[in-house]
Amino acid sequence: MAYGQTGTGKTFTLGRLGEEDTSARGIMVRSMEEILVNVSRETDSISVSYLQLYMETIQDLLDPANDNISIVEDPRTGDVSLPGATHVEIKDEQSFLELLRLGEAHRIAANTKLNTESSRSHAILMVHVKRSVLGEEVAIPTESDKSSHFVKPPKPLVRKSKLVLVDLAGSERVQKSGSEGHMLEEAKSINLSLSALGKCINALAENSAHVPIRDSKLTRLLRDSFGGTARTSLIVTIGPSPRHRGETASTILFGQRAMKVENMLRIKEEFDYKSLARRLEIQLDKLIAENERQQKAFDDEVERINLEAQNRVSEVERNFTDALEKERLKCQMEYMESVKKLEEKMIENQQKHQHDGFMKDKCNGEGPGFCEDIAVIKKLLEKETHMRKEAEKEVNKLKSQLGQHMDAGAGGDAEILKLQIALEDEVHQKKKLEEEIIILRSQMLQLTFEADQMRRCLARGGSGNAYPGLDSPMSQVRDSLSGHKTPVSALFDQVGVEKILDLLESEDANVRIHAVKVVANLAAEEANQERIVEAGGLTSLLMLLRSYEDETVRRVAAGAIANLAMNEANQELIMVQGGISLLSTTASDAEDPQTLRMVAGAIANLCGNDKLQATLRSEGGIKALLGMVRCRHPDVLSQVARGIANFAKCESRASTNGIRSRRSLLIDEGALPWIVQSANNDAAPIRRHIELALCHLAQHEANAKDMINGGALWELVRITRDCSREDIRSLARRTLNSSLLFRSEMRRLRIEL
């Protein structure tokens, strides 16, 4: 630090650059040369801040726009820092000279009677040096031995140093310097800060209990230099003229008092936790990779051993099975041979016994008794033969009678079967006639309705006289058949909903298709929807959508479901009966644009129900709705846009009521890019629905960040200016003005509504 009267050479001593003569370099340049010589680029880093304290305001000489930097003190260590100051990393001496030259150009100086270039501020150069060092390795002792080959890795340390070079503004007496006006205020500020520095030096030299460090920003910045943890050098400059004897004496007394101040030097080291964590992460990754490699090798070895063991077990089992089969065949052959030998021996023994018995009876003289026995046996045999013949005759007689009865019964059964077949044909014919009657009646009523519409169109066009006979006959037919009701309502009343629904299960494809169309037309009128649902019409339509592959049936069934889905009560029934997942499946399978339009319309109606939001997402309804964009047909895209607008409106209502706090499910499903892309669609219905969807999405603050990143902000701004509908323009304007994020982004982009 350089201290002294103005014009005595403080700036010359500290800040001289020495561009023409290197021997005239100041302490700032010389100290940086010394630092650069003694640092290593691998372990050390140097950064510089250059400031000035002007009128009790800290200003950045490297960034003049930064003209009010605050001082921050660490409550734990008491260290002073300037977080708002510019830090420039120094690589060589030339870059440092450029910084000094830039700072000197921004430093404030003025011409006084005592000095033609009098510094009007205190210049402070801060050089920060950091060095990374490693601590000592520590061996980890074990239970068996005090030392071990396990070594704890050294802890990385960061050693910090700070060199502060202060070129104080010179103290001056106003009578001698001739300062006036603003320069007088500058002189007052300089003298006050130097006076506060002198008070602090006096208090430290006298070991006073209170040191008034907070009286000036200069003393707060230099609290480490006097009585702190720094090694401090003070340069005192004086003038040789006896005219300034008082100032010279005051300066020397300041230096004498400063020499009595004692500082406690301390090396500032701290752990480099980031470097240690980075190194440990690398080691951990290597260990994990090695462990995975070893685990994989172990698993491969175990698998190889298991496979080898299984092969060996299979081979042993196969050999054992073959040996067992051979042994079984051998035993079986031996058994058969033994049985054959025993049978031969038994026959031989029987023949031998019979021969011996006959010879014995003959030798004993029992011939007459034997003859009598033979006669008795012959009689019994004859009697038995006669009875058997009689029985056979009786059986034959009974068989013939049974055959006659069976022939008579077979003729009756054939007659009954013929009658049953005829009756079934009659029933089938009757059912077919009823179906044809219903079809013809509905066709006639629809033709009547179309003729009535044509007559009305001709009447409005003023061409009623061109067909004079058309009005009266058509009116008479219509009045006679429908009683001034629409043809569909007349069909509903005359035929009955149950019979119409029964036709949905007809085996005739044409009948089934026509019945679906009739149900769809009936469902278009709200008065008929309740009766259709009560009669099971919704269930029948869902079954048709699920089971039939005919594109016409699927299209018309989806249209009927879309009509029923306009009623909120029916929407919950559709959800309960699995209609959402069924519609999603149909949307992914179908390719016909009209079928997709009907399915999209049904899902769009369901999107307007607040209670079905979560179910629509979980069962794939939202994804199916967005998937139908692949068709690119304007009618399909219009229904998709309507569904998205209905869904966004329900979410906006939920967020306004405090029910929903997280971002939109539409954004989660990836709908935002398509919404932004379609905001300028040429088709008016698509564009109107998309504009409404954007407005509803923007009403929820949680969606604002995603909408800004996705480009929706520009579309909302365009809507406020170019939308053809006043209500949508007003809604977009209110939404943008009510959102903090949107307002902040518009200010940043300089967008005005």
pTM of structure: 0.40
* Average confidence (pLDDT) over 713-736: 88
DSSP of 684-741, one letter per residue? HHHHHHHHHHHHHHHTSGGGHHHHHHTTHHHHHHHHHHH-S-HHHHHHHHHHHHH-HH
647 in a structural domain: no
Q: Which of 311, 339, 371 is the last residue of a domain?
A: 311
User: pLDDT tens digits, residue range 125-179?
Assistant: 999 998 887 665 545 455 455 444 445 566 677 888 889 999 998 877 776 777 7
- pLDDT, one tens digit per residue, over 296-316 is 999 999 999 999 999 999 888
Q: Are residues 97 and 197 in the same domain?
A: yes
Place of tokens 């009697």: 383
Last residue of a domain, one of 247, 271, 295: 271
247 and 294 share one domain = no
Beta-carbon contacts of 81 under 8 Å, excluding residues fewer than 6 positions away, are 71, 72, 73, 74
Residue 660 lies in a domain: no
Residue 35 lies in a domain: yes
Residue at 392 is within a domain: no
Domain, as residue range, for 277: 273-311
Is 250 part of a structural domain of the chain? yes
Measured distance CA(253)–CA(377) in Å, rounded:
171
Q: Is residue 281 part of a domain?
A: yes
Residue 470: pLDDT over 50: no
The answer to whether the CB of 237 falls within 8 A of the CB of 12 is: no
Identify whether residues 131 and 210 lie together within a single domain.
yes
The torsion region of residue 663 among left (phi > 0), alpha (psi -120 to 50) and beta comes to beta
Shared domain check, 163 and 298: no
With a CB cutoff of 8 Å and minimum separation 6, the contacts of 267 are: 159
Check whether 9 is labelled as a binding-site residue: yes
Residue 10 annotated as lining a ligand binding site: yes
The single residue listed with the structure tokens 């649902």 is 533
- 255 annotated as a binding-site residue: no
Residue 5 is assigned to a ligand binding site: yes
Assess whether 290 and 217 both reside in one domain.
no
Residue 59 falls inside a structural domain:
yes
Please indicate, yes or no, whether residues 161 and 287 belong to a single structural domain of this protein: no
User: How far is it, in rounded angstroms, from Cα 79 to Cα 101?
Assistant: 29
Q: How far is CA 15 from CA 1, 5, 53, 239, 293, in A?
A: 11, 16, 16, 19, 62
The rounded radius of gyration (Å) of the Cα atoms in the chain is 56
- Asked if 480 and 488 count as a contact pair (C-beta separation under 8 A), the reply is no
Q: Considering the domain boundaries, does residue 302 fall inside one?
A: yes
173 and 96 assigned to the same domain = yes
Alpha carbon separation from 716 to 685, 696, 712, 753 (Å, rounded): 17, 11, 6, 10
CATH of residue 44's domain is 3.40.850.10
Query: What mean pLDDT do residues 345-365 have?
Result: 64
Same domain, 190 and 306: no
pLDDT at 332 over 70: yes
- Indicate if 262 and 288 belong to the same structural domain: no
Q: How far apart are CA 573 and CA 540, in angstroms?
A: 13
The CA distance from 396 to 496, in Å, is: 65
Token representation of residue 108: 């404030």
Q: Are residues 202 and 236 in the same domain?
A: yes
Query: Strand 2-4 vs strand 235-237: parallel, antiparallel, or unpaired?
Result: parallel
Give the residue, 207 or 235, on which the prediction is more confident.
235
Please indicate, yes or no, whether residues 295 and 180 belong to a single structural domain of this protein: no
256 is in an annotated binding site: no
Helix (H, G, I), strand (E, B) or coil at 235: strand
Are residue 78 and residue 107 in the same domain, yes or no?
yes
User: Into how many domains does the chain fold?
Assistant: 2
In the listed set 285, 311, 337, which residue is the last one of a domain according to the structure?
311
* CA nearest neighbour of 60 among 6, 99, 2: 99
Q: Is the pLDDT of residue 442 over 50?
A: yes
Q: How confident is the model at residue 490 (pLDDT cuts 50, 70, 90)?
A: low
Any idea which residue has 């029964």 for tokens? 502
Average pLDDT, the chain: 78
Q: Is 60 exceeded by the pLDDT of residue 512? A: yes
Q: 96: number of CA atoms within 13 Å, CB side? A: 23
Q: Which two tokens stand for residue 645?
A: 């607008």
- Name the 3-class secondary structure at 159: strand
Rounded Cα–Cα distance for residues 339 and 345 (Å): 10
Q: 680 pLDDT exceeds 60?
A: yes
Q: pLDDT band at residue 482, thresholds of 50, 70 and 90?
A: very low
pLDDT of 241-287, one tens digit each? 888 888 889 889 988 888 888 777 777 666 667 777 877 888 898 99
Distance of CA 743 to the CA centre of its chain: 27
